[in-house]
């Protein structure tokens, strides 16, 4: 029986010859298929395999450049970059325990669920876990040695002057790219160029070798502004006080170096903190440069200069302004206070609309329009600031007599505060208009002659009368210095014309008047605490700022040791609107 069983098993194991041959052929075919597949992958499809291999082992890391610093004219820092770290991960390589997950989320001040979601994005090979982390925190995270988690060096921008210089300097975004202000306009200079490192690493994330030479980043260039940080602080302080005192909607001020056109200070209220620019959209506008307004009576000196340059007028030419109003067609122009015969100088001192309108109407329309254009109204100052407005000056061919008259005292024409400040450089420099700049100059600028020196100096003398008894700007006086300036008050334009209960009060002044070194333009938007004339809301800001700044800059006095005090019963003259 046993013998039969063994014989039977031996017969089952032994295969027929044809079956053995078939099995051998199948094995050979399988081997050929494997060889063919290998040949296909190694030759025809090798690019795919290389890419897959590189995806797991090859890495490129961007080496961030150091962003250039921004300084004021005295090399005080306005924007600097501080080193930080950004923690990132390759989710396909991450191996992290529950305990490590909790520890890492605690270190990075994140919700555990949020961290887990980022690390589970398996289809991505690069995910930022958290950017701009303090270096010591990033060091603790890396000390955990979690596979697939890395850190890279970056920079975070810091603004020492914070709100005071926010509208000039601006700020950068999370990628260290300029978003507002000079950070945006000069981004190409400040940002530099990034470097890179291309390397191979093993499954544990260790670098095996660098594939090519490391390309080092090229740091950005530093930028020196024309701004004087100390002057900027004083202007910010006084403008903030004025907004609070007069319950104004907003305010702006510009201070120029009268000899170079450099912007020494530019302030807007309200402002924001560029170190933490969250929910600040409504405060980002640099009103002094991007907002336009009707300048009101601050345009009268321009009209007087044009009348003397191109017309039959001299400072002592008499103009009949009685009975205090002037009818032009169906419209009527009014003075705030009825006057009789006024000289051109008195028209400026007392801010007579009638006198200004009569001078303008005696001029050729094209001459008056050309004066506005030559002074830069209707076009940008080319200061290079993002969003700068050009203002509005209508073509003289469309002017009606009433429009020619009203533009003479700043109605029907729109300007920026920077344009207005720049226009007054002609009165500080014997008729020469200077370009304006936000960067420090290394050589004197080239200006453009608009008025003759005789006319410009005559207007400057008129502007001194405005700050003296009988003028509209008694509150602009500065102890020990002669001041020349002009007030302006205008109704604001609304959707349905002029708003009779909303005003813009302004003042433009220069000091010392004998040899102007500084020009300051101030604009108070919608003062609502009872006072709204430029002489009451804007001129005091000029006085307060200059009382400090002139001494800080050691500018010699040119007046009496005490201000020219008006008589006790002298009332301040208010300009017409």
HEC string of 87-145 equals EEECCCCCCCCHHHHHHHHHHCCCCHHHHHHHHCCCCCCCEEEEEEECHHHHHHHHHCC
Cα 84 to Cα 134: distance, rounded to the nearest angstrom = 5
Considering the domain architecture, whether residues 255 and 149 belong to the same structural domain is answered as: no
Number of separate domains in the chain: 2
Cα 492 to Cα 149: distance, rounded to the nearest angstrom = 59
- Residue 293 DSSP symbol: B
Asked if the model's pLDDT at residue 474 lies above 70, the reply is yes
Residue 420 placed within a domain: yes
Q: Which of 193, 224, 255 is the last residue of a domain?
A: 224
Q: Identify the pLDDT of residue 499.
A: 84
At 556-565, the pLDDT tens digits run: 998 764 444 4
Q: Which of 207, 224, 241 is the last residue of a domain?
A: 224
Half-sphere exposure of 128 (CA within 13 A, CB side): 12
Considering the domain architecture, whether residues 321 and 338 belong to the same structural domain is answered as: yes
Considering the domain architecture, whether residues 253 and 367 belong to the same structural domain is answered as: yes
Confidence of residue 566 (pLDDT cuts 50, 70, 90): very low
Of 378, 314, 369, 371, the closest CA to residue 346 belongs to 314
Q: Identify the pLDDT of residue 136.
A: 86
CATH number of the domain that residue 306 is part of:
3.40.710.10
Considering the domain architecture, whether residues 396 and 510 belong to the same structural domain is answered as: yes
Considering the domain architecture, whether residues 158 and 285 belong to the same structural domain is answered as: no
Considering the domain architecture, whether residues 443 and 477 belong to the same structural domain is answered as: yes
Give me the phi and psi of 252, to 5 degrees please. -150, 155
Considering the domain architecture, whether residues 186 and 249 belong to the same structural domain is answered as: no
Considering the domain architecture, whether residues 362 and 497 belong to the same structural domain is answered as: yes
In the numeric block, which tokens belong to residue 278?
């969250």
Considering the domain architecture, whether residues 180 and 273 belong to the same structural domain is answered as: no
Of 119, 128, 116, 126, the closest CA to residue 87 belongs to 128
Helix runs in 147-293, H state only: 166-169, 181-185, 187-190, 229-246, 287-290
Residue 114 placed within a domain: no
Query: Among positive and negative, which fits the CA dihedral 502, 546, 543, 298?
Result: negative
At 135-170, the pLDDT tens digits run: 888 888 888 888 888 887 778 899 999 999 999 999
Q: Check if 30 is active-site.
A: no
Residue 113 placed within a domain: no
Considering the domain architecture, whether residues 166 and 285 belong to the same structural domain is answered as: no
Residue 107 placed within a domain: no
Mean pLDDT of the chain: 86
Residue 1 placed within a domain: no
Q: Which residues pair with 63 in a beta bridge?
A: 195
Residue bearing the bigger pLDDT, 64 or 295: 295
Asked if the model's pLDDT at residue 472 lies above 50, the reply is yes
The pairing of strands 497-511 and 223-224 is unpaired
Residue 435 placed within a domain: yes
> What mean pLDDT is predicted for residues 417-444?
96
Confidence of residue 205 (pLDDT cuts 50, 70, 90): low
Considering the domain architecture, whether residues 368 and 501 belong to the same structural domain is answered as: yes
Confidence of residue 87 (pLDDT cuts 50, 70, 90): confident
Considering the domain architecture, whether residues 251 and 337 belong to the same structural domain is answered as: yes
> What mean pLDDT is predicted for residues 117-137?
80
Range of the domain at 322: 229-552
CATH number of the domain that residue 154 is part of:
3.90.1310.10
Options 86, 151, 226, 297, the catalytic residue: 297
Q: How many CB atoms lie within 10 A of CB 365?
A: 18
Residue 56 placed within a domain: no
Lowest mean pLDDT across 196-205, 220-229, 296-305, 444-453: 196-205
> What mean pLDDT is predicted for residues 357-386?
94
**Cis omega (within 30 of 0) on the bond before 323?**
yes
Q: Which of 189, 205, 224 is the last residue of a domain?
A: 224
- 8 A C-beta contact, residue 411 and residue 296: yes
Residue 243 placed within a domain: yes
Lowest mean pLDDT across 259-273, 403-417, 491-505: 491-505
In the three-class reduction of DSSP (H, G, I as helix; E, B as strand; rest coil), residue 193 is classed as: strand
């Amino acid at each position: 029986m046993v013998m039969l069983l063994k014989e039977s098993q031996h017969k089952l194991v032994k295969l027929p010859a044809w079956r053995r041959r078939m099995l051998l052929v199948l094995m050979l075919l399988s081997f050929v298929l494997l060889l063919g597949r290998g040949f296909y992958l190694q030759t025809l499809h090798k690019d795919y395999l290389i890419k897959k291999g590189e995806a797991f082992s090859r890495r490129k890391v961007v080496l961030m450049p150091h962003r250039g610093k921004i300084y004021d004219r005295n090399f005080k820092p306005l924007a600097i970059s501080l080193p930080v770290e950004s923690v990132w991960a390759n989710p396909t390589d991450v191996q992290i325990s529950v305990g490590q997950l909790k520890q890492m989320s605690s270190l990075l001040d994140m919700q555990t669920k949020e961290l887990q979601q980022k690390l589970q994005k398996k289809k991505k090979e690069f995910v930022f876990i958290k950017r701009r982390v303090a270096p010591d925190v990033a060091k603790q995270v890396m000390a955990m040695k979690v596979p697939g988690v890395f850190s890279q060096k970056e920079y975070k921008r810091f603004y020492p002057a914070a709100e005071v210089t926010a509208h000039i300097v601006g700020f950068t975004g999370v990628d260290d790219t300029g978003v507002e202000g000079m950070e945006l306009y000069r981004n190409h200079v400040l940002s530099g160029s990034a470097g890179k490192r291309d390397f191979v690493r093993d499954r544990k994330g260790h670098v095996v070798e660098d594939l090519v030479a490391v390309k080092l980043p090229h740091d950005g260039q530093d930028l020196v502004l024309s701004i004087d940080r100390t002057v900027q602080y004083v202007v910010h302080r006084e403008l903030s006080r004025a907004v609070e005192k007069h319950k104004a909607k907003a305010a702006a001020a510009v201070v120029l170096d009268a000899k170079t056109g450099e912007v020494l200070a530019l302030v807007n209220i309200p402002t924001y903190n560029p170190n933490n620019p969250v929910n600040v959209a409504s405060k980002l506008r640099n009103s002094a440069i991007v907002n336009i307004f009707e300048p009101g009576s601050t345009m009268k000196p321009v009209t007087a200069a044009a009348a003397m340059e191109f017309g039959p007028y001299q400072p002592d030419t008499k103009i009949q302004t009685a009975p205090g109003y002037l009818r032009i067609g169906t419209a009527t122009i009014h003075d705030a206070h009825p006057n009789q015969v006024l000289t051109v100088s008195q028209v400026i001192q007392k801010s007579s609309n009638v006198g200004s309108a009569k001078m303008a109407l005696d001029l050729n329309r094209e001459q008056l329009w050309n004066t506005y254009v030559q002074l830069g109204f209707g076009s940008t100052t080319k200061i290079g600031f993002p969003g700068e407005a050009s203002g509005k000056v209508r073509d003289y061919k469309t002017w009606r007599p009433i429009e020619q008259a009203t533009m003479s005292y700043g109605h029907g024409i729109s300007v920026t505060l920077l344009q207005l400040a720049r226009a007054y450089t002609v009165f500080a420099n014997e008729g020469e208009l200077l370009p304006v700049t936000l960067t420090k100059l290394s050589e004197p600028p080239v200006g453009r002659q608009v008025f003759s020196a005789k006319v410009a100096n005559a207007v400057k003398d008129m502007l001194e009368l405005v700050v003296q008894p009988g003028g509209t700007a008694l509150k602009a006086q500065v102890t020990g210095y002669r001041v020349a300036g002009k007030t302006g008050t205008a109704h604001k334009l609304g959707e349905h014309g002029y708003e009779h209960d909303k005003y813009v009060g302004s003042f433009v002044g220069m000091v010392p008047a004998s040899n102007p070194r500084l020009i300051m333009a101030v604009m108070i938007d919608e003062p609502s605490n009872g006072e709204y004339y430029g002489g009451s809301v804007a001129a005091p800001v000029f006085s307060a700022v200059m009382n400090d700044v002139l001494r800080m800059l050691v500018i010699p006095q040119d007046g009496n040791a005490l201000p020219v005090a008006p008589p006790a019963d002298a009332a301040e003259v208010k300009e017409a609107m």
